[in-house]
Each structure stands twice: as C-alpha cells, then as structure tokens.
C-alpha cells in the first residue's frame, strides 16, 4: 500500500474514531450529498470547503452562505450539505466538525460531438484532484480504444454511439463517464452502375441513418465537368430537388419529401458513361460526397424502351418493321393466287381443247349418217367416204354453243 491509497487509509482511520470520512467521485452536472455525522442533534453546523466557510447554520436557525461561486447551488438538508449541478471548481475537501469528505469531479466530452464520416473528433476525459488517475476509453462496440486522457478518433460508422471513459485511481475503477458521438454519413452509393444503351439507370445515394445535422443543400453532378444534373434546395425544414432548369426528360427524381437522394437517368446514351458524384451540404459547413461509375453497354438492335412507345405497325419483328412483314405476306398471297389461277386456267383450257378435239372427231360420223339417211335411205353403207358429199353446215344454235 502506497501513495494516495495509504493517505486515504490514514484519513479513514482518523475519521472512524471521530466522525465519518468519504471520498466522492462525481460527474459535472451531478448532485452530491455529504453527511455531517458528527454534527449532532443540535442544529448548529458549519461546512467548510478547503478550510473556507461555505455554509453555516447558527443557533437561531439562520443560514449563512459564503459568497462563493457555488452559493446558489449549495444548501443544507438537515446537517448534510447538498451541491447540485456540480462543476469542476466544486471539487475539494469538505469538512463539518469531525467529518471530512473529499469530492472529485470528473468530466468527459467529444469535440465535436457530431462528426462527419472520416472526419476527426477529440474525446477528452478528466478528473480534478492530484491523484494519479489513469483512463480507459471503450468504443461503442465495447472494444478498448486508448488509455490517454485525450484520444483522437477518425470517425467511421462504428464510432457512432456511446463511448465510455473509465477513470482509475491506483488500479481501482472509480467512475465511468459516457460520451455520445454521432457520425453523419457516409453517403452510400454503388461503385458501379451498368446499363444498356436506351435504358434508364438509377443512381443511388443515401445516408445510413437520419442526419444529426440539417442538410442545407446538395447535388448530383457529372465529373470531371462538374455539370449539375439536379440540385437540392431547402425550403423551411424540408429538403427537395429543385426542378427549375432541369431536363426532366433526362433526369427523374422524387418530387416529395426525400428519404434518399436517388435520381434516375433516362434513355441513357453511350456518351452518358462516366463518373457521377452525389454530394450533401450540412449546417456545420461540412459536406459529404460519394461517386459512382456509370457503364453503358452498346445495344444490339433497337432499344426496347422506345419500341413499346411506337405505333403497332412500326414495331420491330425479327429486325424488320411489322408493316414490311405484312406487305411481304400480301405479295406472297397475290403471287400464290396468281399461280393457282394460272394453273386452274390452263387445266380448263386443256380440258376444253380435249373436248373440242373429241367433238371434231365425232362430227363427221354424224354428218355421214345424216347424209345417208337423207339422200340414200334404202342403200347399204358400202360406199367410199371420198365420194361422200360435203356435210351441210351445222344448225345455227349448235354452232354457236361450240364456239362459246
């Protein structure tokens, strides 16, 4: 046993015989109540801090306050001294008759407490008094971060939350303080967005959680030209995309209250490929940005997006407009019809020729018979055909029917 602990032990040994002794470790802002066990029932107490009067109650019941900085925060509760909204300057040795107390006031903070992603914040932890304090910094993920009074943190998402600083006095943990750090960002986007020529591409951009700082502006811009596709505007407490002078045929975005900062690039062309940057500006003057690479692949054939917008007749089918297919079909139909008609006609003509020929063979016999019956009714048919007379012309009605 050595150093402060042995001193403390001696103090305690002294206090046990005569009164009470305590060591108080408190945080700034806390309240402390120190008893005066040796005060006795008589309502007559006198509290001193570092041997200077703080508060006294005399026999008549009147309180006397020293005009110290803490006079509005100290009061008596019975014989006990109560100090509220503790400050570092309240630390010291408090005595009331034989009672002797020591008050240490610890504090911890982050500066700044709201930090941009990959920005820096400094965490400080301190305690009054001249003992040899050691410090332990624990991250929100409960891992050890450092053992100095002050640590510097390069903020990432894991650093957002409740940090703990534990102060040790001679290897004994005496107090643990909490420091809240809020990390804004990072902006989340895709590294690469691939799209076919003529299609739409969504450029994603969002914060992992709602920002602790209000957003004052932002944009989507093309790099390296820096040309803005669309910018954010703040109207009262709301952040919206500013539609003024934006080509909405090219850029699509939400018109209402934003939950993310995605925009849509419509009918992407080959020369739209490149780097796009999403940025946000915040109240503290700081900003965040994230960039992505837009890749546009060349489309073989016409873009499908445009096809469905066309009138039916102009739609494509196997690489040709529909109307060409219909025309070809019609031509094919006409050709087939022509061929069929020709075949039918030829067949008919052939048949007619055959019939004509049949008719012409049969006719002379008839004439012959007619002749015989007319000219030689009683004679035998032994006469040579050569000597036969010319057949008479066909009756008019018969002739015309053949020539039809």
Ligand X SMILES: *[C@@H]1O[C@H](CO)[C@@H](O)[C@H](O)[C@H]1NC(C)=O
Provide the binding-site residues for ligand X, judged by CB under 6 A. Answer: 233, 242, 244-245
Dist CA 183 CA 158 (whole Å): 9
Q: Which is nearer to ligand X, 25 or 241 (CB)?
A: 241
Dist CA 10 CA 5 (whole Å): 9
* Least spacing, CB of residue 299 vs ligand X, in Å: 33
Please report the sign of the dihedral spanned by the C-alpha atoms of residue 282, residue 286, residue 290, residue 291.
positive
Please report the sign of the dihedral spanned by the C-alpha atoms of residue 157, residue 158, residue 159, residue 161.
positive
DSSP class of residue 266 equals -
* Least spacing, CB of residue 236 vs ligand X, in Å: 11
Q: Which is nearer to ligand X, 168 or 287 (CB)?
A: 287
DSSP E strands in 112-246: the ranges are: 114-116, 120-127, 133-138, 144-146, 150-154, 161-169, 172-184, 192-196, 201-203, 215-223, 228-235, 238-242
* Residues sharing a CB contact under 8 Å with residue 215, sequence separation 6 or more, in sequence order: 232, 234, 239, 280, 281, 282, 283
* Least spacing, CB of residue 302 vs ligand X, in Å: 35
Q: Give the tokens for residue 394.
A: 């066909």
Q: Which is nearer to ligand X, 167 or 280 (CB)?
A: 280
* Least spacing, CB of residue 216 vs ligand X, in Å: 11
Q: Which is nearer to ligand X, 233 or 258 (CB)?
A: 233
Q: Which helix (H) or strand (E) holds 335?
A: helix 322-375
Residue pair 165/137 in contact (Cβ under 8 Å)? The answer is yes
Residue pair 21/66 in contact (Cβ under 8 Å)? The answer is no
Q: Which is nearer to ligand X, 56 or 233 (CB)?
A: 233
Q: Which is nearer to ligand X, 234 or 264 (CB)?
A: 234
Taking Cα atoms as reference points, which of 151, 187, 149 lies closest to residue 168? 149
* Least spacing, CB of residue 233 vs ligand X, in Å: 4
* Least spacing, CB of residue 282 vs ligand X, in Å: 16
Give me the half-sphere count of Cα atoms (radius 13 Å) on the Cβ side of residue 239: 20
Q: Which helix (H) or strand (E) holds 6?
A: helix 3-18
Q: Which is nearer to ligand X, 244 or 384 (CB)?
A: 244
* Least spacing, CB of residue 234 vs ligand X, in Å: 8
């Amino acid at each position: 046993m050595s150093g402060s602990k042995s001193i403390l032990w001696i103090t305690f040994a002294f206090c046990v015989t005569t009164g009470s002794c305590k060591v108080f470790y408190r945080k700034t802002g806390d309240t402390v109540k120190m008893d005066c066990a040796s005060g006795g029932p008589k309502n007559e107490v006198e509290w001193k801090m570092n041997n200077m009067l703080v508060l006294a109650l005399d026999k008549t019941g009147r309180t006397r306050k020293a005009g110290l900085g803490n006079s509005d925060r100290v009061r008596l509760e019975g014989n006990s001294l109560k100090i509220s909204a503790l400050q570092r300057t309240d630390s010291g040795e408090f005595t009331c008759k034989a009672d002797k107390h020591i008050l240490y006031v610890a504090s911890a903070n982050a500066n700044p407490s709201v930090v941009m992603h990959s920005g820096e914040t400094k965490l400080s932890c301190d305690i009054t008094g001249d003992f040899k304090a050691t410090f332990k910094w624990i991250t929100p993920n409960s891992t050890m971060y450092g053992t100095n009074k002050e640590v510097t943190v390069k903020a990432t998402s894991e650093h957002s939350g409740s940090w703990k600083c534990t102060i040790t006095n001679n290897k004994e943990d005496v107090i643990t303080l909490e420091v809240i750090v809020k990390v804004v960002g990072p902006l989340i986007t895709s590294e690469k967005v691939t799209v076919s020529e003529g299609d739409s591409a969504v450029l994603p951009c969002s914060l992992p959680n709602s920002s602790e700082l209000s957003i004052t502006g932002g944009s989507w811009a093309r790099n390296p030209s820096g040309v803005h596709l669309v910018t954010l505007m703040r109207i009262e407490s709301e952040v919206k995309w500013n539609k003024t002078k934006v080509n909405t045929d090219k850029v699509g975005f939400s018109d209402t209250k934003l939950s993310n900062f995605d925009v849509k690039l419509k009918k992407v062309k080959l020369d739209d490929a490149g780097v796009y940057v999403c940025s946000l500006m915040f109240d503290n003057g700081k900003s965040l940005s994230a960039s992505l690479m837009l890749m546009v692949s060349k489309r073989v054939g016409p873009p499908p997006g445009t096809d469905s917008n066309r009138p039916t007749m102009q739609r494509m089918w196997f690489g040709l407009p529909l109307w060409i297919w219909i025309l070809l079909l019609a031509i094919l139909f006409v050709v087939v019809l022509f061929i069929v008609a020709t075949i039918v006609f030829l067949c008919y003509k052939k048949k007619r020729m055959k019939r004509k020929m049949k008719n012409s063979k049969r006719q002379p016999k008839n004439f012959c018979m007619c002749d015989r019956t007319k000219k030689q009714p009683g004679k035998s048919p032994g006469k040579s055909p050569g000597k036969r007379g010319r057949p008479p012309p066909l009756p008019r009605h018969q002739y015309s029917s053949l020539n039809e």
